[in-house]
């Protein structure tokens, strides 16, 4: 495929050629039209001179002077200009001295009672012919005459050819100059694009980490997004590497316990119980690290996800999972809220917190979401046992290592923390005393308002 520079240059070349050809044709046509009009006016003026010198008697006999001071060309041999006069029957009644040396005169040309200007070929020589019919008035009667002027068109054609050659030469030179200027301007205009390509090649080769140059406004958004994508991809890769390293490290302890138990434990029942415990522990570790690694994070350009349908979807799913409980569920979510977050991350994030609320609630679960200044705040409350302040801080700090998680809190809250960290969110635990506890999530990100929708309250 052609490069962008070649495509633009090719397009400019085609447009320029069309413009030059169109301009040349227009100018040439205008020149010919003006030149022919000027020639026609000159020939008509010469015919008026001939008419002024003509004399007609009462019998209709026409006489012309021997010399024409105002029109000497018709008295010169081989001047290329000749004049002659015919009567109403197209009979030749007078001809100039220059006409005597022409092989023939176009006296048989079809005439009309109107003046005519046209081109014709005589003996392979092009001529212009202008004939002007008149009714000559005498005291006796009117006599019809036709005054003819014949002019060799070679000089006119030579002038036209010279003009066309000059015109095309200048236009070709201007077109070439414009192409050179266009190429230089295009090279200068596309310099930032080549700079971006060069920096991307260096990033691919590992010579630099991101796009660090200064770019025009039209490219700055693109370069910023590329840098964000590069940063996100590196965080994603680092998350995978950390998850794999943590997984390998976390599995060492239960594996060491199993190896020691196989060598030292003699009671089959105790050995079986120990193996089951360690298998469950390893399963929790693997699940946690896999979910942690699968967190997408804040991706530039991600589409906006409406919050209300997601929450209702999660509540319906969790209600089926905890079918033995029938708590009252209050949902107060501003239907205008949309989050720029990966949908799977949002489902995992809210799913863990809603599941935790169902697990510990007695009779009520409340989910609210609203705008607070420049933040989006989601609050998930239940009326279950309260969490002391010291314990709330501790459980939110857990989960960095898979082997530090405990059933009921560790894995789920650790995953929530990882997802929030990847999406620039925060989680706090608010004690409600005897009324229970609340998990509060806040996102500092823009949101989109959907027209015609307000707060939506729903009770299950």
Q: What is the pLDDT of residues 134-171, one digit of tens each?
A: 999 888 888 999 999 999 988 889 999 999 999 999 99
On whether both 348 and 453 belong to a single domain, the answer is yes
On whether both 145 and 247 belong to a single domain, the answer is no
Tell me, what CATH number does 425's domain have? 3.30.565.10
Note the pLDDT of residue 330: 93
Q: How far apart are CA 448 and CA 332, in angstroms?
A: 18
Cα 362–367–368 angle (5° rounding)?
145
307, burial (CB in 10 Å: exposed 0-12, middle 13-18, buried 19+): buried
Residue 45, domain member (yes or no): yes
DSSP 76-128: STT-SEEEEEEETT--EEEE-GGGGGSS---TTS---SS-EEEEEEETTEEEE
Q: Is residue 402 over pLDDT 60?
A: no
On whether both 276 and 320 belong to a single domain, the answer is no
Structure tokens at 51: 């008419």
First to last CA, the chain: 59
Q: What is the mean pLDDT of residues 370-391?
A: 85
On whether both 338 and 407 belong to a single domain, the answer is yes
> Are the beta carbons of 424 and 446 closer than 8 angstroms?
no
Note the pLDDT of residue 22: 92
Residue 155, domain member (yes or no): yes
Nearest to 380 by CA among 396, 367, 364: 367
Q: Is residue 392 over pLDDT 90?
A: no
Residue 110, domain member (yes or no): yes
Q: Is residue 30 over pLDDT 90?
A: yes
Q: Between 249 and 376, name the one with better pLDDT.
A: 376
Q: What is the mean pLDDT of residues 232-238?
A: 76
Measured CA distances, 328 to 164, 315, 355, 387 (Å): 93, 11, 14, 21
- Angle of helix 217-264 relative to helix 191-204, nearest 10 degrees, comes to 10
Q: Is residue 255 over pLDDT 70?
A: yes
> Are the beta carbons of 311 and 294 closer than 8 angstroms?
no
Residue 61, domain member (yes or no): yes
CA torsion angle for 311, 315, 316, 317 (degrees, to 10)? 100
The residue from 259, 293, 327 where one domain ends is: 293
For residue 130, name the pLDDT band (cuts at 50, 70, 90). very high
Note the pLDDT of residue 145: 92
For residue 384, name the pLDDT band (cuts at 50, 70, 90). confident
Segments forming the whole domain that contains residue 287: 217-293
Q: How far apart are CA 64 and CA 148, in angstroms?
A: 14
pLDDT, tens digit, 9 for 90 and up, residues 271-316: 888 888 888 878 877 876 776 666 656 666 667 889 999 999 999 8
> Are the beta carbons of 34 and 41 closer than 8 angstroms?
no
Q: Between 321 and 292, name the one with better pLDDT.
A: 321
Nearest to 425 by CA among 384, 369, 381, 382: 369
Q: How far apart are CA 10 and CA 183, in angstroms?
A: 10
The alpha carbon dihedral of 445, 446, 450, 453 has a sign of positive
Place of tokens 């201007």: 174
Note the pLDDT of residue 403: 36
On whether both 69 and 132 belong to a single domain, the answer is yes
Q: Between 81 and 373, name the one with better pLDDT.
A: 81
For residue 251, name the pLDDT band (cuts at 50, 70, 90). confident
Q: Identify any residues that bridge with 56 across adjacent strands, giving them in sequence order.
A: 62
Note the pLDDT of residue 114: 83
pLDDT, tens digit, 9 for 90 and up, residues 344-376: 888 888 988 998 899 889 899 999 999 888 889
The residue from 111, 144, 160 where one domain ends is: 160
Q: Is residue 52 over pLDDT 80?
A: yes
Residue 64, domain member (yes or no): yes
Note the pLDDT of residue 399: 43
For residue 40, name the pLDDT band (cuts at 50, 70, 90). very high
On whether both 310 and 453 belong to a single domain, the answer is yes
Number of domains in the chain: 3
Residue 120, domain member (yes or no): yes
Count of CB atoms situated within 10 Å of the CB of 329 = 21
Q: What is the mean pLDDT of residues 65-87?
A: 88
On whether both 276 and 413 belong to a single domain, the answer is no
Residue 150's SS3 state is strand
Q: How far apart are CA 380 and CA 384, in angstroms?
A: 12
On whether both 308 and 285 belong to a single domain, the answer is no
Q: Is residue 449 over pLDDT 60?
A: no
CA torsion angle for 317, 319, 320, 325 (degrees, to 10)? 160
On whether both 347 and 405 belong to a single domain, the answer is yes
DSSP 194-262: HHHHHHHHHHHTTS-SS--S---HHHHHHHHHHHHHHHHHHHHHHHHHHHHHHHHHHHHHHHHHHHHHH
Q: What is the mean pLDDT of residues 254-283?
A: 82
Q: What is the mean pLDDT of residues 180-208?
A: 85
Q: Is residue 320 over pLDDT 50?
A: yes
Cα 439–441–443 angle (5° rounding)?
175
On whether both 38 and 156 belong to a single domain, the answer is yes
Mean pLDDT, the chain, rounded, equals 82
Q: What is the pTM of this model?
A: 0.50
Would you give the distance in Å from CA 123 to the centre of its chain?
64
On whether both 233 and 91 belong to a single domain, the answer is no
On whether both 370 and 289 belong to a single domain, the answer is no
Structure tokens at 280: 């469950």
Tell me, what CATH number does 125's domain have? 3.30.450
Note the pLDDT of residue 293: 66
């Amino acid at each position: 495929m052609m490069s962008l520079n070649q495509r633009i240059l090719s397009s400019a070349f085609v447009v320029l050629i069309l413009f030059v050809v169109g301009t040349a044709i227009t100018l040439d046509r205008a020149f010919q039209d003006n030149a022919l009009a000027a020639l026609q006016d000159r020939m008509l003026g010469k015919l008026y001179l001939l008419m002024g010198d003509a004399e007609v008697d009462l019998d209709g006999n026409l006489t012309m002077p021997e010399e024409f001071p105002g029109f000497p060309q018709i008295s010169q041999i081989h001047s290329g200009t000749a004049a002659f006069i015919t009567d109403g029957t197209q009979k030749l009644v007078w001809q100039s001295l220059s006409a005597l040396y022409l092989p023939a005169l176009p006296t048989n040309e079809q005439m009309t009672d109107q003046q005519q200007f046209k081109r014709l070929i005589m003996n392979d020589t092009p001529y212009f012919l202008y004939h002007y019919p008149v009714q000559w008035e005498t005291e006796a009667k009117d006599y019809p005459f036709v005054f003819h002027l014949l002019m060799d068109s070679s000089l006119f054609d030579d002038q036209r050819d010279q003009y066309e050659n000059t015109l095309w030469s200048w236009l070709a030179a201007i077109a070439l100059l414009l192409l050179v200027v266009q190429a230089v301007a295009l090279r200068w205009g596309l310099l930032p694009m080549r700079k971006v390509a060069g920096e991307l090649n260096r990033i691919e080769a590992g010579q630099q980490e991101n796009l660090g140059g200064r770019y025009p406004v039209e490219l700055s958004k693109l370069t910023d997004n590329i840098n964000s994508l590069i940063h996100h991809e590196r965080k994603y890769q680092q998350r995978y590497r950390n998850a794999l390293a943590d997984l390998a490290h976390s599995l060492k302890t239960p594996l060491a316990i199993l190896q020691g138990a196989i060598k030292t434990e003699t009671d089959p029942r105790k050995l079986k119980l120990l193996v089951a415990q360690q298998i469950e522990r390893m399963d929790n570790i693997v699940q946690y690290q896999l979910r942690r690694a699968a967190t997408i994070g804040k991706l530039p350009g991600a589409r906006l996800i409406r919050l209300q349908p997601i929450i209702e979807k999660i509540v319906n799913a969790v209600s089926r999972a905890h079918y033995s409980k029938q708590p009252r569920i209050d949902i107060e979510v501003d239907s205008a809220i949309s989050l720029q977050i990966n949908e799977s991350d949002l489902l995992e994030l809210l799913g863990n917190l809603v599941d935790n609320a169902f697990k510990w609630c007695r009779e009520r679960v409340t989910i609210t979401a609203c705008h607070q200044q420049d933040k989006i705040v989601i609050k998930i409350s239940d009326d279950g046992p309260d969490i002391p302040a010291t314990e709330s801080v501790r459980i939110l700090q857990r989960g960095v290592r898979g082997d530090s998680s405990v059933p009921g809190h560790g894995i789920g809250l650790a995953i929530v923390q990882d997802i929030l960290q990847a999406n620039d969110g925060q989680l706090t635990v608010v004690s409600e005393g005897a009324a229970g506890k609340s998990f509060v999530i806040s996102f500092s990100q823009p949101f989109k308002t959907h027209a015609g929708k307000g707060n939506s309250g729903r009770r299950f």
